[in-house]
Amino acid sequence: MEGTHTYRVTAWRVAGQNGIAKSESAPNAIHFTVPPQLGGMEGRWSSEELFLSSLAACFTTSFNAIADDSRFEYVDLEVEVKGTVAKTSTGYRFTGVEIRPKLKIAEEADQARALELLSKTKNLCLVSRALEIPQEFRPQIEANKLATVG
């Protein structure tokens, strides 16, 4: 990836704890809610699951690029990401994330190289690395001005 790239996602509240998110590059919106344990709808993604899925997707696509670059052939890759959320003194937060890649290879002799490439992927995945960056917060507040009838 060369240069600078910008990605944008916009989310809207639809009703109650439900909303939709849309990306400039994807035609379908994602319907989301708070987790069912907190009163959200069943069958919708939560922001916690979307966060974990972004880690899993990043790891999967990053490994594929690294494997291609390294001319490493593999049979299959499944990546499970497990996150733990707990209540802390400052409120609920992720207290841990576990990335569990399950890589299938054709040759047993390639195990050491496979582990090396998986470790390299963990260190290069943009989403994993993004967890370390400072976040900017730029709120905007707009008030609806009611037209006066006179």
Distance between terminal CA atoms of the chain? 59
Domain boundaries, the chain: 9-130
Dihedral angle over CA of 84, 87, 90, 95, nearest 10: -20
Q: Would you identify the CATH topology of the domain 9-130? A: GMP Synthetase; Chain A, domain 3 (3.30.300)
Backbone angles phi, psi at 71, to 5 degrees: 55, 45
Helix extents (H) in 70-133: 111-124, 126-130
- At 59-70, the pLDDT tens digits run 999 999 999 999
Beta bridge mates, 102: 78
Predicted confidence at residue 31, as pLDDT, reads: 93
Residue 10 host element (H or E): strand 9-15
Structure tokens at 61: 């696509």
Asked if 51 and 84 count as a contact pair (C-beta separation under 8 A), the reply is: no
Checking if the pLDDT of 142 tops 70, the result is: no
Over residues 111-122, the mean pLDDT reads: 92
- At 37-48, the pLDDT tens digits run 888 888 899 999
Mean per-residue pLDDT of the chain: 86
